Structure 1
């Protein structure tokens, strides 16, 4: 009986991982809280009453409240574009110091594209959307995720949060206003198919490997945004993007190896450039938002914890 209950819980792990990640913006923290959720559920299995709620709703209640407790002692994880003003592309790079930034989530951990990940909504995992969630208070975040992403009614969300329907409705309204002010609403981004997005990024990769700045610019939307946590610098526009890439190639050279990755339901790649050791050394992980107008966002990560979550080799031999 206990083994059967554990197996029933396990089938919800990918969507619970996505749920905790939306709250916390950290792969490691989300994995810890999913483990805590499953352990709490297993220990309380004799108290679960299927007449009162489905197993899925019961698990989301445990996970949501675990996330809210965790947020009491954890700082928000935004992206630089949500916290500081933009800078010219050739300004000196400024490190964010001790700030904690949003991390990308490997698609492989959520089993996206497989039956186990079918319940996970790709759109609600986009980096820009998850970054915007980090700007909300914990209760606003909970209301928006439960009602807008998971489609629970306000009454169901109130039951999960052990509060009133009126309180959930108020938090939800405030959250919507805040996201509208940030210019990000989860259902506003029109995306090409997954295959079209990957094909666009593959063309970008070819231009990148040839240090073809004009080729890169042709694949960008007019208002493209690039940011690079933990660096505070970020900027928008094709021309500034091109200027920055010219600086990158001048500083890091033009010999690269690129390895495709998938994160947050979005295409990307890990970039390795030729180092003094004679091997191609891990440089950055880049995640792209692709729209009908072209690549509208490139979020560039240079963080050891992020590299580890994707299982990236530190170097590639020639």
Structure 2
């Protein structure tokens, strides 16, 4: 049963406890339109799609239970964001930050060394784009890009909340203060410290990214896919920028430069030759992406391996995060592919 169905079922039960059924129906109709943007908000706060889905469900349940106390002093949207933010802050009290390998503080790795999986680390997760509503993709693309969400992980939960509410949602300082139970002066101080912390993390690799549907990005993605599917790994050298970065959680290493990235692929890629991998185009975090399937020689089908999320600039690919995946259900893609006949 999907998370959305569970949430609606719970609300249906709660509906029987509410006297004014028309108000309940109006709330459901009004609130559901904000579900996708609330998911993006909770994702920015947590860095986890799974956590974000749970927190959105908790947000709606909290809102439903307290709906009779909603006085209409703000819009339903603002009210839901207040609840979602505080729900995230409560959850983050007991959770670790979610890094990428580059965020662990270690230098770049030797591509010929063994790769080490760190299953105990709560890694940053990718976010599917909302293909049902292109306006949502455009509106939230920059604020859910991997580099930005990874940078947010360096902030305390309250710094994260303030920065997102002020600079992504464009709330006034007084509105943020009211939402998180603080003072305007404290909010301004938190924002100042958050900006300083982000400056220390370093410049964003998202600057000047090509849009996923641009001709440039799609052409480069075609060449990238061809190189892997034909097992012509050497072709990748010409696709990456000089300072390109490759990382692949849950493995804790990261690699910089075209030569090291190619050597890593040749040393550790599980494919044995041409035809062992299949790629399907998609998008994630508002960026160009590809779902990667590996041939299982015992079953004779292609099974999920990784989701490659690419940062493509004007001069080539400058960053790839290859997330280990066991399912592409959230991207609306099949979990297996047959071998072409």
The equivalent of 2:251 in structure 1 is: 231
Paired residues of 1:220 and 1:296 also in contact (CA < 8 A):
yes
The equivalent of 1:68 in structure 2 is: 89
The Cα RMSD (Å) is 2.1
The equivalent of 2:280 in structure 1 is: 259
The equivalent of 1:11 in structure 2 is: 33
Secondary structure of 2:308's counterpart equals: strand
The equivalent of 1:39 in structure 2 is: 61
Tell me by how many angstroms 1:194 deviates.
3.0
Q: Select between 194-203 and 99-108 the one with higher mean Cα deviation.
A: 194-203
Q: How far does the alpha carbon of each residue in 1:260-290 deviate from its partner, in whole angstroms, 9 at most, with x for none?
A: 2211111211222223223223222211111
TM-score by length of 1: 0.91
1:283 to 280, 291, 305: 305
- Paired with 1:184 and 1:9, the residues of 2 have a C-alpha distance of 37
1:81 equivalenced with 2:99 (yes/no):
no
Q: How many residues align?
A: 312
- Paired with 1:73 and 1:193, the residues of 2 have a C-alpha distance of 36
1:130 to 149, 153, 157: 149
- Paired with 2:155 and 2:202, the residues of 1 have a C-alpha distance of 14
2:196 to 177, 184, 206: 177
Tell me by how many angstroms 1:191 deviates.
1.9
Distance 1:119 1:245, change over 3 A: closer
Q: How far does the alpha carbon of each residue in 1:62-87 deviate from its partner, in whole angstroms, 9 at most, with x for none?
A: 00000000001111111110014121
Secondary structure of 1:11's counterpart equals: helix
1:91 equivalenced with 2:113 (yes/no):
yes
Distance 1:249 1:65, change over 3 A: closer
Structure 2: stretches of 5+ with no match in the other structure: 1-21
Distance 1:252 1:103, change over 3 A: farther
Distance 1:251 1:7, change over 3 A: closer
- Paired with 2:128 and 2:171, the residues of 1 have a C-alpha distance of 26
2:211 to 193, 215, 228: 193
- Paired with 1:118 and 1:215, the residues of 2 have a C-alpha distance of 31
The equivalent of 1:150 in structure 2 is: 169
The equivalent of 1:168 in structure 2 is: 187
Q: Indicate the structure whose relative CO is greater, using CA pairs within 8 Å and at least 6 residues apart.
A: 1
Q: Select between 16-25 and 1-10 the one with higher mean Cα deviation.
A: 1-10
- Paired with 1:16 and 1:135, the residues of 2 have a C-alpha distance of 21
1:240 equivalenced with 2:281 (yes/no):
no
Tell me by how many angstroms 1:212 deviates.
2.5
Distance 1:118 1:44, change over 3 A: farther
- Paired with 2:237 and 2:112, the residues of 1 have a C-alpha distance of 17
- Paired with 1:176 and 1:204, the residues of 2 have a C-alpha distance of 35
TM-score by length of 2: 0.85
